[in-house]
Chain A
Amino acid sequence: MFSRLLPRSATRSALQAQNQAPHFVRASPVTAQLSERIRQRRGYATPAEEKDLVIIGGGVAGYVAAIKAGQEGLKVACIEKRGVLGGTCLNVGCIPSKSLLNNSHLYHQILHDTKNRGIDVGDVKLNLANMMKAKETSVNSLTKGIEFLFKKNNVEYIKGTGAFADEHTVAVRLQDGSETSVRGKNILIATGSESTPFPGLTIDEKKVITSTGAIALEKVPKKMVVVGGGIIGLEMGSVWSRLGAEVTVVEFLGQIGGPGMDAEISKNIQKTLSKQGMKFMLNTKVVKGDDSGEDVKLEVEAAKGGKAQTLEADVVLVAIGRRPYTANLGLENIGLETDTRGRLVIDSEYRTKLPHIRVIGDCTFGPMLAHKAEEEAVAVVEFITKNYGHVNYGAIPSVMYTHPEVAWVGQNEAELKEAGVKYKVGTFPFSANSRAKTNQDTDGMVKFLADAETDRILGVHIVGPNAGEMIAEGTLALEYGASTEDVGRTSHAHPTLAEAFKEAAMATYGKAIHY
């Protein structure tokens, strides 16, 4: 009522000053709280707290969306419960595993592959603690980098656990124990995924581990069994195999690398990894496990039934896949539904049935890949701000960072056969590539699959050194709808590994020169 005494042109701060209690009255904390509650309920001079976009999850999907939204001028808040940004990828996934893969490869190479290169090496020892420190240094610098980018793009970073209170409000339990809530015109769920547990085995991250434990073991295990021969299992199996563990991979399917990997490429990498010392048991299922003793015992048998045998290991890595993480998100408070595999159901613009609530990343449809989540993060903000966005799910590359690396994009032979598409194949081995020869790193090949009539590229599959970098060219070609002839007639520098890519394209529509 006092505000009426002020002229209309008075500033908001002057009005707020009127609402404050007189200085000579000392209100108790309880009464002050009550007063504040009344004030907020009635909406008296309460500053608007509603954000344009509230993001739950500060992983790759969430933090990229937050930065993009900040760049587009939205008022944005990002809620992350881990205490550090970057999610699984930066903290316990892609980044730390790449650090270990790179350094364990260096160690393995120094130990076994220097004599033929004219390098005499003395006593080589593994310092696992320092290798882990190097990993942590890489991780810390990257996560701090994201915090800097948040500040640069005016993103409010809320450290706490968010849950839906209603359709526009997210209640946050802050890390310091207090509670707050944040309202958003738009809300983005980007809570990611977690490792799928194996029934009968208790994950303790010491003896029975997931990928999280596999990047933090304190000593090299003597025997390690990897349950699941997908990308995560093979990468982490490679690390510990190089560092001295006897690694056995148990895979239910008839090939390693997961269902997306081309069968020919899968056989090729299995042969190479076997030469490196890894053992494989394909078409084999784990019937039960016993982790009560010092070692872990796994009973396995042929997938189609057969004689059971027992495997013993001091560490068992469970790498049978990941599942969406939406626990304690308060989905029941707003009636959001998940499908049978726990993925939040969305439409083509990432909207749930509540159009202002969108979902991206691992907790919804599509492959659980960080770069897929990043693409979706940019697209979803563009849908909010510009009405359009773009992600081509047919051109998302996959990479396995073993040595040699495996990478692919588009369809594989089995998928094309199933779809009844007539296709032609062109391959080129790295053993015929000049740069691979000079590097003494000639395992692997490049394989193109193209439409038999139009020559349009349908899939590119690579196993070989630097395959993860090389697949970018294949993805670009696929995205642009290129033919193998387009690639084959494009100049590639000499001597490079990329020449193998060009020659495989040439082999598809004509003939390769060097093979």
Chain B
Amino acid sequence: MRSTRALFAQRQPLIKFLGKRHTPKAEEIDHAPHAHPASPSHELPESFASYRGRAQQHGPLGGQQQQQQSSSSQSTSSSRQGAPSGSAAAQTSKPYGAIGGHSGKQLGSVQPKQGEFWDRNELPRRFHRTQWTEAEMEALESGGASIVA
């Protein structure tokens, strides 16, 4: 026993108990795309950045690039995508931004500014009104008879 103690007084094993498990909080994790560790090229193709530059998914995907686009563009639709100037998000150094880009709060109000109007047709296609088909029109005109005919 004594000899073991003496031994470990001289030597520090590399394996150490790390203590209680720490679960990282969402804000502690950087979700910006990085090259896969087993990727032979050690870099992501340009398509990753370009997709995030234009795509919207649960909010805009682009980080800095997205904001540059929005500040240069004055169109009504793009004015929704950019973060307010001077916000913390505008100072991000992440090249792609994280998934979701920024929180809804950071993006500002979803309401149009005074004197600004949006048209449904400016939104992505999935928000457009569904077109009536011939079969549906016929069903309406025949009082539903064409469905069960």
Residues of A bordering B, CB below 8 Å: 21, 25, 27, 31, 34-35, 38, 41-42, 335, 337, 339, 345-351, 353-356, 364-367, 386-388, 393, 454-456, 480-483, 485-486, 489
**Contacts A347-B48, A387-B26; is A393 near B57 (CB within 8 Å)?**
no
The answer to whether B14 touches A481 (Cβ under 8 A) is yes
CB neighbours of A481 from chain B (8 A)? 14-15
Residues of B with C-beta under 8 A to A345: 39, 44-45
Asked whether, in the complex, the Cβ of A353 is within 8 Å of the Cβ of B136, the reply is: no
Residues of A within 8 A of B38 (CB): 365-367, 393
B148 contact from A27, A388, A480, Cβ within 8 A? A27
Q: Please provide the chain B residues from 15 to 63 with a CB less than 8 Å away from any CB of chain A in the complex.
A: 15, 23-24, 26, 29, 31, 33-41, 44-45, 47-48, 51-52, 55, 57, 61
- Set A339, A348, A354, A387: member contacting B34, Cβ < 8 A: A348
CA distance A267 to B39 in the complex (A): 30
A354–B133 CA distance with the chains assembled, in angstroms: 32
- Residues of A near B90 (CB, < 8 A) are none
Residues of A within 8 A of B135 (CB): 34, 38
Residues of chain A within 8 A (CB-CB) of B36 are 346-348, 350, 364-366
B121 on interface, CB distance cutoff 8 Å: no
Residue from B36, B45, B48, B136 whose CB has the most chain A CB atoms within 10 Å: B36
Give the docked Cα–Cα distance between A482 and B14 (Å). 5
> A31 and B14: CB pair below 8 A?
no
Residues of chain B lying within 8 A (CB to CB) of residue A42: 130
Given contacts A485-B11, A486-B14, contact A337 B45 (CB under 8 A): yes
List, in ascending order, chain B residues with CB within 8 A of A456's CB.
Answer: 14
CB closest chain-B residue, reference A487? B15
Check if A353 sits within 8 Å of B51, measured CB to CB. Answer: yes
Q: Per a CB cutoff under 8 Å, which of B29, B39, B133 touches A365?
A: B39
Q: Given that A347-B34, A348-B34 are contacting pairs, would A483 and B148 also be in contact in the complex, using a CB cutoff of 8 Å?
A: no
Q: Which among A21, A337, A365, A486 is the interface contact of B15 at CB below 8 angstroms?
A: A486
Contact of A387 among B29, B41, B61, B147 (CB under 8 A): B29
> A482 contacts which chain B residues (CB < 8 A)?
13-15
Interfacial chain B residues near A366, Cβ < 8 Å: 36, 38
Bound-state Cα–Cα, A41 to B39, Å: 42
Please give me the residue from chain B that is nearest to A477 by CB atom.
B15
Q: Kindly identify which residue among A27, A355, A455 contacts B57, using a CB–CB cutoff of 8 Å.
A: A355
Given A387-B24, A454-B14, 10 more contacts at CB 8 Å?
A: A25-B148, A38-B139, A41-B130, A41-B133, A347-B48, A351-B33, A365-B38, A386-B23, A388-B29, A483-B13
Considering the complex, which residues of chain B in the window 114-129 have a beta carbon less than 8 Å from any beta carbon of chain A? none
B6 at the A interface (CB under 8 A): no
Name which residue of chain A comes closest to B18, CB basis. A480
> What CA separation (Å) do A354 and B38 show in the bound complex?
19
Given A31-B149, A38-B136; A349-B31 close (CB under 8 Å): yes
